[in-house]
C-alpha cells in the first residue's frame, strides 16, 4: 500500500498493562484518515499520529448526524501472528450503512487494506494474553460546514485502535436483561439495520433505566406491535427452545451481526436445527413456563457470546438454565474464540493474517 502516506509519531506512548485495560479508553500511537470531497471522491489515505480533529462548528455531523461506524478485532496467535476476523464482512456492512445514510460508498477491498495497513503499523499494540485483542473502530462522519438539510459533500473516514482486555476475566457470567416495553430502538423503514450513531443516541435512555433497575442490558421489541424480539444493546439474540435454535430474522430493523452470521454457520455445520424467524416475547414466556427455554444468549464482537441468565418482562421473571451458561453457548464461544486466536482450525477461511 505505497499509496498510503505515513507520518511517524515521534513520541510513542507506553504500552498499557493488558490486565488493567478498560474497554475503549486507551488508544494507539497512530490513526488512519481518508477524505471525501464531492467531485474528487475518496482521497489522500494516510496514517498519522493519533490526535484531535479540527472541525468547523457548522460541520454537518454535529447538526444532522450523518455518522456510521464499524467494529472488529485483531488477535495475536501463540506463534505471534496477528489476525483479523472476517474484515470483508465489515467492509460490506459499512457500505450498507453508508447507503442508508446517503454517505458515498467506499471500495471494500480498499477498506480491508486500510485496516490491515494501520494494524501492521501498530502491531506491537496487539496484546497477547488470553482473551485480549486490539479493537478496531472504523467510522465516517459528515464534515461539510453547512446548515442546509441535505447530504454532506465532504466526509472523513477514520480508523482508531484500542487494546482491550479479556471480556470475561472471571469466567462467563450470565446477565439479567430487561425486556423494554415502552421505548423502541428502530422501526421498519428506519435505520435499524445501519450501524449509525443515532441508533445508539436514542437507546441510551432505556439503557440507563434498565441499569437503575439492576439489569445489564435492554432487550428491544419491534417498534410497531411491541411483540417480537429484535436485539439487545449491541448484540443479536439467540434462543434454544426444545432443542431448536431460533434467532430473529433480518427484518430491516435489526443489525446484521457478523458474530450472528458466524454462529449460524457453525450451527448449520454441526447439524443443530436452527431457524431465522419472527419470535414473539409471548413465545419465549410460554416456552419458559413449559420448561422448554433451554438457553438464551446475545452475540457480538465485544463479548462474542453473552449468556442471559434472567429475562424480565413486565411482571414476569424467566430464569434460564438456572442462571448458568448453556452447553451450546459455551461450545460456540470456545469455537469462535479458538478460531480467532488460532487454536481451532479456521475451516471457513475467516481469518486474515496481517503482513500477508
Ligand X SMILES: *Cc1c(COP(=O)(O)O)cnc(C)c1O
Minimum CB separation of residue 312 from ligand X in Å reads: 20
Q: Which is nearer to ligand X, 29 or 231 (CB)?
A: 231
Q: Which is nearer to ligand X, 257 or 309 (CB)?
A: 257
Using CB under 6 A as the binding rule, whether residue 258 contacts ligand X is answered as yes
Interface map 200-239 toward ligand X (x if CB under 6 A): -------------------------------x--xxx---
Interface map 279-318 toward ligand X (x if CB under 6 A): --------------------xxx-----------------
SS3 (DSSP) at 277: strand
Using CB under 6 A as the binding rule, whether residue 138 contacts ligand X is answered as no
Q: Which of 184, 255, 303, 311 binds ligand X (CB under 6 A)?
A: 255
DSSP state at residue 180: P
Q: Which of 28, 143, 178, 259 binds ligand X (CB under 6 A)?
A: 259
Report the DSSP beta bridge partners of residue 35: 43, 156
Minimum CB separation of residue 305 from ligand X in Å reads: 10
CA separation for the pair 97, 297 (Å, rounded): 25
Backbone phi, psi, residue 38, to 5°: -55, 135
Q: Which is nearer to ligand X, 236 or 288 (CB)?
A: 236
Give the number of C-alpha atoms closer than 13 A to the C-alpha of residue 334, restricted to the C-beta side. Answer: 8
CA separation for the pair 152, 142 (Å, rounded): 6
> Taking CA 167 as the corner, what is the angle to CA 165 and CA 173, rounded to the nearest 5 degrees?
150
The H or E element spanning position 261 is helix 258-270
Using CB under 6 A as the binding rule, whether residue 71 contacts ligand X is answered as yes
CA separation for the pair 330, 311 (Å, rounded): 19
Residues within the interface to ligand X (CB under 6 A): 71, 195, 231, 234-236, 255, 257-260, 299-301
Amino acid at each position: 500500500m505505497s499509496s498510503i502516506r505515513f507520518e511517524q509519531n515521534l513520541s510513542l506512548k507506553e504500552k498499557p498493562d493488558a490486565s488493567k485495560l478498560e474497554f475503549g479508553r486507551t488508544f494507539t500511537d497512530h490513526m488512519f484518515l481518508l477524505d471525501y470531497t464531492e467531485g474528487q471522491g475518496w482521497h489522500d489515505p494516510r496514517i498519522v499520529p493519533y490526535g484531535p480533529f479540527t472541525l468547523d462548528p457548522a460541520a454537518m455531523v454535529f447538526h444532522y448526524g450523518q455518522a456510521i461506524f464499524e467494529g472488529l478485532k485483531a488477535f495475536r496467535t501463540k506463534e505471534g501472528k496477528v489476525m483479523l476476523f472476517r474484515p470483508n464482512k465489515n467492509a460490506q456492512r459499512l457500505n450498507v450503512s453508508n447507503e442508508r445514510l446517503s454517505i458515498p460508498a467506499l471500495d471494500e477491498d480498499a477498506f480491508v487494506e486500510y485496516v490491515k495497513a494501520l494494524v501492521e503499523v501498530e502491531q506491537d499494540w496487539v496484546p497477547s494474553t488470553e482473551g485480549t485483542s486490539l479493537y478496531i473502530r472504523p467510522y465516517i462522519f459528515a464534515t461539510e460546514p453547512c446548515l442546509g438539510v441535505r447530504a454532506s459533500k465532504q466526509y472523513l473516514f477514520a480508523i482508531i485502535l484500542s487494546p482491550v482486555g479479556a471480556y470475561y476475566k472471571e469466567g462467563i457470567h450470565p446477565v439479567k436483561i430487561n425486556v423494554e416495553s415502552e421505548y423502541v430502538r428502530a422501526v421498519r423503514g428506519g435505520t435499524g439495520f445501519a450501524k449509525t450513531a443515532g441508533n445508539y443516541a436514542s437507546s441510551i435512555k432505556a439503557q440507563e433505566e434498565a441499569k437503575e433497575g439492576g439489569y445489564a442490558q435492554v432487550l428491544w421489541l419491534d417498534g410497531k406491535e411491541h411483540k417480537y424480539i429484535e436485539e439487545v444493546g449491541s448484540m443479536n439474540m439467540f434462543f434454544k427452545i426444545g432443542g431448536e435454535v431460533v434467532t430473529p430474522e433480518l427484518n430491516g430493523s435489526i443489525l446484521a451481526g457478523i458474530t450472528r452470521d458466524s454462529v449460524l454457520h457453525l450451527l448449520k455445520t454441526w447439524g443443530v436445527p436452527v431457524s431465522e424467524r419472527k419470535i414473539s416475547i409471548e413465545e419465549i414466556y410460554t416456552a419458559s413456563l413449559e420448561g422448554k427455554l433451554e438457553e438464551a444468549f446475545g452475540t457480538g464482537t465485544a463479548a462474542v457470546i453473552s449468556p442471559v441468565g434472567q429475562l424480565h418482562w413486565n411482571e414476569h421473571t424467566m430464569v434460564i438454565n438456572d442462571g448458568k451458561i448453556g452447553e451450546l453457548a459455551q461450545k460456540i464461544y470456545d469455537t469462535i474464540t479458538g478460531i480467532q486466536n488460532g487454536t481451532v482450525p479456521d475451516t471457513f477461511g475467516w481469518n486474515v493474517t496481517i503482513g500477508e
